[in-house]
Amino acid sequence: MSDGGKGKVLLAMSGGVDSSTAAILLQQQGYEVDGVTLKLWGGDTDSGCCSLADVEDARRVAAQLDIPHYVFNLGEEFTKHVVEPYVKAHTEMLTPNPCIECNRHIKFAGLHDRAMAMGYDFVATGHHARVVYSDGVYRLMRGVDEKKDQSYVLSMVTQEVLSHTLLPVGDLTKTQVREIAAEHNLRTATKAESMDVCFIEKKGRESFLRDRITLHTGEIVDMNGERVGSHAGAELLTIGQRRGAGNAVGDRAGDKQYVIARDAETFQVTVGTREDLEVTSANLRQIATTRPIDFPCAVTVQPRAHGESFEAQWESPELLSFSQPRMRIAPGQTAACYIGDECVGSGIVLS
């Protein structure tokens, strides 16, 4: 622990209102705060959470609050751990989540290691989630603002990293965060949120992928193998998708049609009804737990950052069993597991 106060904190400042307000809260709580903005992507689509404008917003907020501000250029790491795997996953007919991989490799584990080597006691971010210490472990909890909760995208953070992580805005609603920023006249108080993937925001996913891989067209067939249409690229589709797959995805004989399967060799896409998508289990890979847990255990599964969750049994690290049939989670997506409001871990869906 550094001399004086509660310790020295390296705060990741994205240039948004959440991390800006986090800086205020940390100062009020007695921490010595330094700010850092991660420069991750500098291509033609430079926008979103790591644009030049965001770096400037973070720098100005830091100056206003009289805290040092640094910029770490992690472009090579970002390309290696986030962009290249994202592109490769599409060629393998997977549906990747690049924000989770960015948090896994760059914003948490990577930044944590750098911060500890530089003599900091903690790393902090503006994520809407909470870290609570109880019964000898650090627990990753949902943020107070249910609509803004970001624990899902932190579901792979390890116990070691959690023990050095501060999430100051997790106890606040988004409205309260903006009110605090406004009270301190921060330039980010009314700044709009960036909701898209930073490195494809400007051009769009199809254009981004088309510049990097060959998109394979093919036919769309129903569950009986009968041709019902064609698609512009199997790599662009995802399991469970209903719109945008061609003239077959819509209402057919009164039933909504969904993408059921993609063939990586023939590039044929199969569509069917919602019932055709229902499964009773999911196989996982790249499993991570936020703290030690005993298998099997009853959990609530959240298959997306926001949306419906459901009850399941985490039988073993590699297997989830559902209490009742559910729509299949697209392979490549992350299934986060909760016990109550605590996120205990996650895995990437294999099948």
Handedness of CA 198, 202, 205, 207 (dihedral sign): negative
Q: Specify the higher pLDDT residue, 200 or 77.
A: 77
Query: Which position among 50, 99, 198, 337 bears the catalytic label?
Result: 198
At 61 the three-state DSSP class reads helix
Angle of CA points 85, 87, 90, to nearest 5°: 105
Q: pLDDT value at position 245? A: 59
Query: Which position among 50, 102, 337, 343 bears the catalytic label?
Result: 102
Q: Quick check: is 49 catalytic? A: no
Q: Specify the higher pLDDT residue, 247 or 13.
A: 13
> 39-48, 126-135, 151-160, 292-301: lowest mean pLDDT where?
39-48
Residues 6+ apart with CB under 8 A from 184: 24, 64, 65
Interval 264-275: pLDDT, tens:
999 999 999 999
Residue 277: pLDDT above 70? Answer: yes
Contact (CB, 8 A) for 19 and 49: no
Residue 4: pLDDT above 60? Answer: no
Question: What is the average per-residue pLDDT within 110-129?
Answer: 97
Q: pLDDT value at position 120? A: 98
Contact (CB, 8 A) for 109 and 75: no
Please give the share of the chain, as a percent, with pLDDT higher than 90: 84
Q: Are strands 319-327 and 310-316 parallel, antiparallel or unpaired?
A: antiparallel
Query: What's the pTM value of the predicted model, to 2 decimals?
Result: 0.92
Q: Quick check: is 198 catalytic? A: yes
Residue 114: pLDDT above 60? Answer: yes
Mean pLDDT of the chain: 92
- Band (pLDDT 50/70/90 cuts) for residue 223 is very high
- Band (pLDDT 50/70/90 cuts) for residue 2 is very low
Question: What is the average per-residue pLDDT within 112-137?
Answer: 97
Question: What is the average per-residue pLDDT within 274-283?
Answer: 96
Q: pLDDT value at position 71? A: 95
CB atoms within 10 A of CB 279: 12
Interval 48-60: pLDDT, tens:
555 778 899 999 9
Question: What is the average per-residue pLDDT within 155-165?
Answer: 97
Please give the share of the chain, as a percent, with pLDDT higher than 70: 91
Distance CA 108, CA 106 (A): 6
Long-range contacts of 213-219 (CB under 8 A, 24+ apart): 213/87, 213/90, 213/91, 216/267, 217/267, 218/266, 218/267, 218/268, 218/269, 219/268, 219/269
Distance CA 66, CA 73 (A): 22
Which residues lie across from 314 on neighbouring strands? 297, 320
Question: What is the average per-residue pLDDT within 70-83?
Answer: 94
Helix (H) or strand (E) run with residue 110 in it: helix 109-117
Side-chain-side CA neighbours of 77 within 13 Å: the count stands at 17
Q: pLDDT value at position 45? A: 47
At 107 the three-state DSSP class reads helix
Residue 180: pLDDT above 70? Answer: yes
